[in-house]
Structure 1
Amino acid sequence: MSAVDTVVVAGRDAPLWLAAATIQQALAPAGVIVRAVELPSALAPGDVHATQPALEALHGRLGIEESVLLRLTGGAFSLGLNIVDAVGQAPSFLIPFGGIGTQIEGQDFFPFWLKARSLGLDVALEHFSLAAAAARQGRILFPDDATEAYGRSDYGYHLPAIPYARSLKAPAAHLGVEIHEVSFARAEHGEDGIVALLLDGERRIEGDLFVDAGADLPSDRPRESWRGAFPVDRVLTATGPRFASVPAYAELRTGEGGWTALYPAAGHTHVLHAWSSAHRGDEDAVRDAAATSSMPLDAITIRRIDPGRAADPWVGNCVAIGKSACTPDPVFDVGLHLAQLGLVHLLACFPASRSHAAQRAEYNRIMRSATDRVRDFQSAFYVTSLQPGPFWDDARAADRAPDLDHMLATFAARGEIAPFEDESFAPDSWRALLIGQGLVPERWLPPIDRTDPAVIKDQFRAMLGFVRDHVLRQPTHDDLLRRIAHGP
């Protein structure tokens, strides 16, 4: 029997069901009872989750079949994010889900590419990525022995948020989660934290540990603002027409007044436009979103956004995950990624005794570090941008953490990605972002100079040939979505 007998998860939408199902699946064998308190949805029709690859593994643990999930949600696969200068002053670049290149004589690929580039190589970094090549050709790459020998290859999803949340409820119930649908919930506090939740002013549910997945328990949790680090304070979501051929990647288009992201799905294209109210009004932003996306928009919803995080996500016997723990900037859509990180670390720090103090302190330390790393990856997009305009001037002048300054300085010097504890974005993701933004290192790591240039040239040819041939054998995204839509 666990030291915690009953976990009450209160919140809404996908974070609620992912938290309840994950805790139930992991801890039911120890006798833990999980109760989910479902509050009314806060989602709009245009909302979508552009997920990181790790979510696929979590779905597998919860018994969620991929084809069924995509059929129920009208979702699609994604192999990365393409960043486009809508003004046309800079070339586009893709941040792929997966590795870029393969080792040469036991050394990392990237410094060899840097050296070759300085000597006149005119082949973009993404051409050495299986995921990027597949995305550009409208194909979906599933990892196999050949791709694993070449390097890491992953994929994420574009999941319309309303049907995705709905689709998670049944697996949670199947795993044994006890479900309570309510209009509101209020915490009843005792000397050591929350004692129970009062549901709709009538029912009372007790628990040992409470997980706040969007219920604001407690409502006065101390918060650290990230307002100074990000220029965006307004976000528009909408739906647009389905692409005739559904791209296997998302696209972020930068414009003078902000940026617009397109997330293709099987039924619609989901559009997110981000801007600053200091430079654009809401009506201007609606026009910007339609112009930059180049499509008519429907189901438009506009929200205020205030990025920041809880000073301590675990207070007393209440652990915050999702937006209750951290409201990130919308770039790269990391909301579910942060919720999943919170769940992974909660299970690792789950109380082994009635006293939570040691586990609580460790969890708070890890989550501060993990959210720092995510924040810095998002911040790097803004501070390295070359886009003109007042919005981007503010973005480049925004506050940045010393760790990010160190990351950018070490990369600019020799192309190194400084290792930080609790980093959840791979070095190749950082490299793709920074190179794409125009930050090209001055030098490379000296050990690669011992490798014969002829060997490097042969290896480059072999990599490009493998990427081309292997990608051409993969199914097209459209064919795969058609097969999924038609069922088994």
Structure 2
Amino acid sequence: MTDAPPRPVRKVVIVGRDEALWLTAAVLQRTFARSDLSFTAVELPSLLRPGEVLPTLDSQASFHAQLGLEEEVLMRALGATFTLGQQYVGWAKNAPPVFVGYSSTGVAVQNVPFHHLWLRARASGLSVAYEDFAINAACAKHGRLLTREAELSGFAEAGRGYHLPAAPYGEMLRQVALKRGVRHLPAAHVSPVVQGAQMSAVVLSDGQTVEGDLFIDTTGSEARLLSQMPETGFTSWRHWLPFDRLLTSYAAPATPLPVFAQITAFRSGWTGLFPLRDYTALQQVYTTDELSDDEAFEAAATVARVSLNPQATVTPFEAGQRRAWSGNVIGLGDAAAVLDPLGSARMPALLFGLSHLTALFPLDTGGLESAVYNRTVAQVYARLRDAQILLYSLNKRRDQPVWDRLRSQSLPPELAYRLELFSACGHMPMYDEETFDEAWWIAACLGHGRLPAAYDVRADQIAEPDLIRHFQSVLGYVRKQVETMPTPDAVSRAATV
């Protein structure tokens, strides 16, 4: 039996739940509003947990703009917050916390990157931390929000991420998608109908058959559609990312409101606090080998030092990926790649997959675009995975089995080369399809104590008095900018007037 010849794509069926379903439906409907495509969203029961948060990066803003969602209105309506980065506590036991933000650090001199200047000065006795020269880190430490109106005069490149409350955010996207004309069909479950290398329909729990030309899987890690297609077996990353349990809960809102997430390591994993306007979301990652779920809840309250709502939910997960496009089925979000919760990587993975899909949207079911798509998104997922492996590998928690293993394990070849080169001479190679920029990789390494053995020899050509004046100028500029920035609470009060 041979497969049917390719047919034009007219009917697009999106099966899934929560923000992945509705962001995909809304973006595709908006992008192809003038085409003859029809979009049907088959909504499965929500898997959102009480108090769940979606940490994400500045790239989310472009999707909001595309959907006509004004940032100020969205943030106020959802009770969402901005974040300037993440603070890592206890990654080296008694060492000070490390802040890794979404901004550049310092300013180059005579084309010598700033981190090489800092390495030279540190070798001569400089005691100022690398992060103190970063505008985001300075604002975060002083409880100030770096606004988009900040005049940085070419001094720094600065961004910010978001903490989005998952349930109201998903509902907002749902309303946007429905208003724009997406057809909505709720279902308790679906049964895919596959013929050869193509999916022809999904059968809903009420017996209704929904036919389509292109199917998009946003069902989460179960990959209800994609897993039924040829050559889409799951490739586990557990060797590098061994945590397999996510505990979710929430506590009272923090006062004053922080402008960063706090990630605190403990013996069996880490606990993350993500401030929102109406509550503080908590995520805790651990392994079943180390803790029972009840022990994990007790540890979360102890590590976070907050009173947690007893409605804690535990979700098993395994980091890894599938081939994202097979036949006429495309997986987005966790259906294609399950990432560890560390480092706000999950939402960007969904966004990149969706962005590349709109750029390579197929004209017919032949799937000629699939090879390019699969290669590109596989690189995106690998770079995000490597960023998480990097953070884990930089830990210095000695004599604790989980953390010892994370520090000593062999690394993926691209990451191993990146770290080897940086450790030797301070150069940070960058690959295609990076989510985090060079400044982030350098800040993560230097902040966690991965210091190169040598620095750029051009740094020695700058006279020491000139170098000292430059450092003083940078610190003075950072201090002045921080003083002019508002607190997040002041911004919130102004928005409600």
CA change 1:73–1:143 in 2 (3 A) is closer
Of the candidates 70, 91, 96, which is equivalent to residue 91 of structure 1?
A: 96
Verify the 8 A CA contact 2:271 2:285 in the aligned structure 1: yes
SS at structure 2 position matched to 1:146: coil
How far is 1:442 from its partner? 1.1
How far is 1:87 from its partner? 8.0
CA distance in 2, matches of 1:145, 1:328: 33
Alignment of 1:406-445 (within 5 A): 406-445=417-456
Letter paired with 1:177: V
Of the candidates 405, 425, 447, which is equivalent to residue 394 of structure 1?
A: 405
The yes-or-no answer on 1:53 pairing with 2:63 is no
How far is 1:199 from its partner? 2.3
Of the candidates 364, 371, 378, which is equivalent to residue 381 of structure 2?
A: 371
CA distance in 2, matches of 1:392, 1:481: 39
Can you list the C-alpha shifts for 1:134-190, whole angstroms capped at 9, x where unaligned? Answer: 111111112347326112111111112111111211122233322222222222223
The yes-or-no answer on 1:479 pairing with 2:490 is yes
Alignment of 1:164-313 (within 5 A): 164-214=169-219, 216-220=224-228, 221-298=232-309, 299-310=311-322, 312-313=323-324
Name whichever of 469-478 and 31-40 sits farther off: 31-40
Partner of 2:42: 37
CA distance in 2, matches of 1:373, 1:334: 10
Verify the 8 A CA contact 1:9 1:36 in the aligned structure 2: yes
Letter paired with 2:140: A
Alignment of 1:58-73 (within 5 A): 58-73=63-78
Verify the 8 A CA contact 1:73 1:164 in the aligned structure 2: yes
CA distance in 2, matches of 1:321, 1:135: 33
CA change 1:403–1:148 in 2 (3 A) is farther
Give the CA RMSD over aligned residues: 1.9
Of the candidates 147, 156, 162, which is equivalent to residue 152 of structure 2?
A: 147
CA distance in 2, matches of 1:87, 1:379: 16
Verify the 8 A CA contact 1:234 1:304 in the aligned structure 2: yes
How far is 1:333 from its partner? 2.9
Verify the 8 A CA contact 2:251 2:306 in the aligned structure 1: yes
CA distance in 1, matches of 2:38, 2:115: 48
How far is 1:431 from its partner? 1.4
CA distance in 2, matches of 1:351, 1:382: 38
CA distance in 1, matches of 2:480, 2:332: 43
Partner of 1:466: 477
CA distance in 1, matches of 2:417, 2:278: 43
CA change 1:186–1:172 in 2 (3 A) is same
How far is 1:33 from its partner? 2.3
Number of aligned positions between the proteins: 483
Normalised by the length of structure 2, the TM-score is 0.93
Can you list the C-alpha shifts for 1:275-333, whole angstroms capped at 9, x where unaligned? Answer: 122122222212211110001111211121211111x1101001001110011112113
Alignment of 1:108-119 (within 5 A): 108-119=113-124
SS at structure 1 position matched to 2:117: helix
Normalised by the length of structure 1, the TM-score is 0.94
The yes-or-no answer on 1:162 pairing with 2:170 is no
Partner of 1:106: 111
CA distance in 2, matches of 1:472, 1:115: 29
Letter paired with 1:387: R
Partner of 2:390: 380
Letter paired with 1:187: P
How far is 1:99 from its partner? 1.4
Can you list the C-alpha shifts for 1:97-128, whole angstroms capped at 9, x where unaligned? Answer: 12112222233222111111111112111111
CA change 1:447–1:3 in 2 (3 A) is farther
How far is 1:59 from its partner? 1.0
Structure 1: runs of 5+ lacking an equivalent: none
Structure 2: runs of 5+ lacking an equivalent: 1-6
SS at structure 2 position matched to 1:278: coil
Verify the 8 A CA contact 1:230 1:398 in the aligned structure 2: no
Letter paired with 1:385: N
Give 4+ residue runs of structure 1 displaced > 4 Å after superposition. none
Can you list the C-alpha shifts for 1:188-207, whole angstroms capped at 9, x where unaligned? Answer: 22344111222224322222
CA distance in 2, matches of 1:58, 1:127: 32
How far is 1:38 from its partner? 1.3
CA distance in 2, matches of 1:293, 1:201: 45
How far is 1:339 from its partner? 0.2
CA distance in 1, matches of 2:102, 2:51: 24
CA change 1:355–1:68 in 2 (3 A) is same
Verify the 8 A CA contact 1:186 1:197 in the aligned structure 2: yes
CA change 1:129–1:175 in 2 (3 A) is farther
CA change 1:394–1:276 in 2 (3 A) is farther
CA distance in 2, matches of 1:171, 1:325: 25
CA distance in 2, matches of 1:175, 1:456: 57
Verify the 8 A CA contact 2:227 2:233 in the aligned structure 1: no
CA distance in 1, matches of 2:185, 2:494: 36
